[in-house]
Amino acid sequence: MAADPRRPPAEDPISIEEQSRADVYRLLGALLAAAPGEEVLSLVQGMHGYTGGASSPLIEAVGDLKRAAETASVESLGAEYYRLFIGLGRGELVPYASWYLTGYLMETPLAALRQELQRIGIERQAAISEPEDHVAALCEVMGMIICENVLQFDEQKTFFETYIGSWMGRFFADLRQADAAVFYSAVGALGERFMGVETTYFAMPA
């Protein structure tokens, strides 16, 4: 995804807390867009910064992800990703908003999302062929919305509730429990807890 070059850059830098929200979205997006390569796997294995200091259910889930990464390899993750999302005929999970909301691919939720992305000036890069309602694409978009101050709190809340909160928690719960999921079970647990954090965050007064 890319921001509309006509849109001026964000005037105010975001807080470290908002940056952290964006980073979790981007981490989830990156891990769900494709199986991690050597460099990403190595970085996830080295996330020791999360095991010290303050803790929370979300931070514990990041620690669990690190531990799952320690027993994984690029090859095992590639095979796991294939079984989960691609498969012979179909993967175990179908990671699209349209599927979760209507039971079909490329349905009205995708059309509505495309209109909204056009309105806020975010477009799919030519190199990316996944439809915009893929879980990884939506995580990446939300990370971009936060990082670049594309939408203020009220509009972010509407975007989250319409395109993310309406289905992504169910997807992450399915991912956590999927038969083929080992490393990705930890990704699902992290995503599930993060959706809970985001739901609480957006329920707070504007």
Partner 1 sequence: MKAKQLPGEARRDFLKGVVAAGGSAVLLTSITQVAQAEHWDAGTPDSSVDSRGYQETPHVRAYYASARS
Given candidates 4, 13, 20, 70, which one binds partner 1 under the rule CB under 8 A? Answer: 20
State how far the alpha carbon of 169 is from the alpha carbons of 19, 52, 164, 172, in Å: 21, 27, 8, 5
- The number of C-alpha atoms within 13 Å of 191 and in the hemisphere containing its C-beta is 32
Return the closest-CA partner of residue 64 out of 189, 170, 171, 166.
189
d(CA 157, CA 165): 9
Pair of tokens at residue 197 = 């954090």
Least Å from the CB of residue 160 to partner 1:
13
Pair of tokens at residue 47 = 């996330």
Q: Under the criterion CB under 8 A, does residue 30 sit at the interface with partner 1?
A: yes
d(CA 37, CA 21): 23
Pair of tokens at residue 129 = 């062929």
Nearer to partner 1, 7 or 49 (CB): 49
Q: Which of these segments, 88-96, 112-120, 170-178, 180-188, binds partner 1 (CB under 8 A)?
A: 88-96
DSSP string, 146-183: HHTT-S-HHHHHHHIIIIITTTHHHHHHHHHH-TT-SH
Q: Binding pattern to partner 1, positions 31-50, x when CB under 8 A? A: x-xx-xx-xx--xx--x-xx
Q: Binding pattern to partner 1, positions 91-130, x when CB under 8 A? A: x--xxx--------xx------------------xxxxxx
Q: Under the criterion CB under 8 A, does residue 73 sit at the interface with partner 1?
A: no
Given candidates 4, 57, 73, 170, which one binds partner 1 under the rule CB under 8 A? Answer: 57
Nearer to partner 1, 93 or 150 (CB): 93
Q: Under the criterion CB under 8 A, does residue 23 sit at the interface with partner 1?
A: yes
Binding stretches for partner 1 (CB under 8 A): 15-21, 23-24, 26-27, 29-31, 33-34, 36-37, 39-40, 43-44, 47, 49-50, 52-59, 62, 85-91, 94-96, 105-106, 125-131, 134, 140, 143, 153, 197, 200-201, 204-206
